[in-house]
Structure 1
Amino acid sequence: MTTTLTTEYWVVDEAGHLADPDLIAGLPGAAGTASPYSVAVETPPCERCVELEAALDARLAATVEAAHDRSCRLLGLGLRPDLLTESASPVTDQPPVATAGTRVSFEPDPAASTDLYNVLLALDPAFVLVNTTSRAADGQQYACGRPSLYHRGSIAQYRFGDVAVGGPSSNDTATAATDSSTDWQPVALLDDGSRVEWRSLDPTTPTLLVDLIADIKTILQQARHHRLSVDSFGNGFHGDRLVLPNEEWRAIYAQEAVEKGLSSLLVRAYLERLGVDTGWYLAATPPTVSAAADMSMVCRQHAAHLEADIGARQTS
């Protein structure tokens, strides 16, 4: 199953402020994002994680070097840094437009795309493993640009075995469900079901991204040999079945992840049942950033953390 990774990074100057868009325009990947303050790093389709890792490392290192030539640095934060300052406009229940993240695109056997969609939907709370940003104001909190009110679009029903699960049954349905600005859809079925895209992971370090994708692919491979079923809160791998949570519990897990991050024992226990070692991510993920921080200093620190991770990977 081939996998393509696209991750976006903000570009800041040496003082830790958003860089001049004229400088950013000449960087690799600048044309691949909707914001003049970010660049996109994309890998080719890769069958194995080791190939994905090598492609990501090479392209990200080249982009960082090109940024340095312009006295700029890449920043791995989910929300644009100037939106995280206390002086920014009040937060509503709509996700901010200026977000950066990661899209992981899988190309499964067409007969397996429905099951793949359902498993990835159940894995949505795994974004918390690499979450970098949160903000609380006016009773609302954001993580990775997500609304704390975990809306979902109107989506069709299909069946596998004797279990009905909410999900798009066609590309048209998937598109309709993702067009609304008030509805967050973490998974999309694209190109008539030939691609399934998992969306809006944080643009964190390559080590964390590659490890998370490896964990997800392991779960997807295991799922191929298990019968899928749905039972309230989801019990993970159990005998010959993979038990996924229903829509209500998916929303509960995602809400917990947004509000509490990896401190949520409920979310951690759920991900552990699916086979994810959450303790490793808890130790390795940089601290989340909030509005109370000195944003220019935080940007410099996170840019340095990203560069250190890239440097360590090149010498290992």
Structure 2
Amino acid sequence: MLHGNVWHIGSPSPDARVVACGPTDRGCGEVTVSSHQSEPIRRSIEVEYWVIDDEGRLVEPGELLDASAGAEEEFVEPLIEIKTTPCETTAELRAELFERVGAVLRRADELDRGLVPLATPVYQDEIPERESERTHIQNAVVGEDFEYVRHCAGTHIHVEQQPGRAIDQLNAFIALDPALALVNSSPYFQGRRLAAGARSKLYRWMAYDDVPHQGRLWTYADDTDEWTRRLERRYEEFLTAATDAGVDRRAIASSFDPESAVWTPVQLREEFGTVEWRSPDTALPGQVVRLADDLAGVVERMRDAEVRIQGDGGRVDGEDIVLPEFDAVIGYVNAAIRDGLADPDLQAYLERMGFDVDAYEPVSPAIDSGRTISPEAARQLRLEQAERLERDVLQADPIRGD
């Protein structure tokens, strides 16, 4: 949510008029692009972890919130969020994230606590919320299905908007949404196997099933005006649903605005000057840093490449960024959620879009031990994954440069 993260997008220096294509294959035109294009592309990460005691039971973060800058509580009690500031390079981002997670882990060790990099707690009947007006309103709008959201831990990646290319960047991230499969980190919900990406299924197909415009992936946008109109429509729908549920309109306005009232996985964030990707599960820090680097790499190529929407194949290469038609993207997204990297067509798509699939090790296949899992086995699994996180961070190799 970037509370406290400062995204100051500098004013462009002398502009140049260049020919660039828009978000569709309808033709090209002149856009203003600044010398900002030669500057580093900043990116930041927010990652959530479950907090456990030494027996694998979920507990509140407590003193862990004071262990590092960027450590904050979440809307459910046993989650902690750790976020970075905007960083210009992969090395800088990796160093900051590892430093902050490491500080929390060292404090956790003193308190016999652990952090669990799993997208769901695997087996947990109920997860208590923290009291807040915002959460109260969400419960009123979503209803009983909001229970599904309480079982989800994820990663948000922000990448700085490029002047004149914000919509191309937004559309590219929509097309890259199937890359969520690269870090699927739990197939289980309440002890039963749900999907390779259980968290994504909980969010998109279960929690927001009755309000799909709020939680599912939106189609490509033609321009920022269209994006703004979408936000305004969704906000009005949200206001109507909340007031119909008995929430005072002033309370809604004090907790939400058009940008913060939607949970679609890819968002143009005017407040921060970024495009935000909210789909990935929580995962090991090295994996989410790699993912952020891959997204920034696509944006880097965008500076000199034409972006167009065509067909159902998609590709990112030195000259072109070709995004598949949206229906094809949804097909890849569904495969990413249901089967993950076990789907060969999805693997091939991600490779064409510039990802080194073999460099990722999603946890879901490794911990998938059958259709159900017991509470005792779930607690043991949390302990094992907490140890894995600790090894990844505290025993990491020296930080490599970009």
2:182 maps to a residue whose letter is L
Match of 2:295 among 206, 216, 224: 216
Query: Mean Cα displacement is larger for which, 33-42 or 135-144?
Result: 135-144
2:315 counterpart of 1:236: yes
**1:4-43 maps to which residues of 2 (within 5 A)?**
4-20=44-60, 28=68, 31-43=72-84
2:348 counterpart of 1:269: yes
Query: Mean Cα displacement is larger for which, 242-251 or 147-156?
Result: 147-156
2:165 counterpart of 1:112: yes
2:306 maps to a residue whose letter is R
Aligned length, in residue pairs? 306
Aligned to 2:222: 159
Aligned to 2:251: none
Query: Mean Cα displacement is larger for which, 121-130 or 217-226?
Result: 217-226
Taking a change above 3 Å as real, the CA distance of residues 50 and 302 of structure 1, as seen in their structure-2 partners, is same
**1:243-254 maps to which residues of 2 (within 5 A)?**
243-254=322-333
Q: Which structure shows the bigger proportion of residues in strand conformation?
A: 1
Structure 1: unaligned runs, 5 residues or longer? 86-90
Kindly, what percent of the aligned residue pairs are identical? Answer: 25
Aligned to 1:51: 92
Does the Cα contact within 8 Å between 1:78 and 1:100 map onto a contact in 2? Answer: yes
2:181 maps to a residue whose letter is V
Taking a change above 3 Å as real, the CA distance of residues 99 and 19 of structure 1, as seen in their structure-2 partners, is same
Quick one: distance in 2 between partners of 1:170 and 1:194? 18
Aligned to 1:168: 227
Q: CA deviation at 1:146?
A: 2.9
Does the Cα contact within 8 Å between 1:110 and 1:193 map onto a contact in 2? Answer: no
Query: Mean Cα displacement is larger for which, 169-178 or 294-303?
Result: 169-178
Aligned to 2:186: 133
1:190 maps to a residue whose letter is R
Does the Cα contact within 8 Å between 2:183 and 2:363 map onto a contact in 1? Answer: no
Does the Cα contact within 8 Å between 2:314 and 2:323 map onto a contact in 1? Answer: yes
Quick one: distance in 2 between partners of 1:197 and 1:266? 26
RMSD: 3.6
Deviations 1:24-66 (A, max 9, x none): 6666566441111011111111111111111001000001111
2:104 counterpart of 1:63: yes
Q: CA deviation at 1:237?
A: 2.6
2:201 counterpart of 1:146: yes
Deviations 1:68-104 (A, max 9, x none): 121100000111343489xxxxx97984333111111
Query: Mean Cα displacement is larger for which, 244-253 or 29-38?
Result: 29-38
Aligned to 1:303: 386
Does the Cα contact within 8 Å between 2:301 and 2:318 map onto a contact in 1? Answer: no
Larger Rg: 1 or 2? 2
Q: CA deviation at 1:266?
A: 1.4
Does the Cα contact within 8 Å between 1:10 and 1:74 map onto a contact in 2? Answer: yes
Give the 3-state SS of the residue equivalent to 2:123 in structure 1.
helix
Aligned to 2:139: none
Does the Cα contact within 8 Å between 1:95 and 1:146 map onto a contact in 2? Answer: no
1:118 maps to a residue whose letter is N
1:7 maps to a residue whose letter is V
Quick one: distance in 1 between partners of 2:306 and 2:379? 50
Aligned to 2:25: none
Does the Cα contact within 8 Å between 2:184 and 2:362 map onto a contact in 1? Answer: no
Taking a change above 3 Å as real, the CA distance of residues 157 and 60 of structure 1, as seen in their structure-2 partners, is closer
Give the 3-state SS of the residue equivalent to 2:395 in structure 1.
helix
Does the Cα contact within 8 Å between 2:52 and 2:114 map onto a contact in 1? Answer: yes
Aligned to 2:150: 97
2:373 counterpart of 1:292: yes
Structure 2: unaligned runs, 5 residues or longer? 1-40, 127-143, 243-261
Give the 3-state SS of the residue equivalent to 2:380 in structure 1.
helix
Quick one: distance in 2 between partners of 1:282 and 1:242? 26
Taking a change above 3 Å as real, the CA distance of residues 38 and 253 of structure 1, as seen in their structure-2 partners, is same
Quick one: distance in 1 between partners of 2:383 and 2:44? 29
Does the Cα contact within 8 Å between 1:102 and 1:202 map onto a contact in 2? Answer: yes
Taking a change above 3 Å as real, the CA distance of residues 192 and 20 of structure 1, as seen in their structure-2 partners, is closer
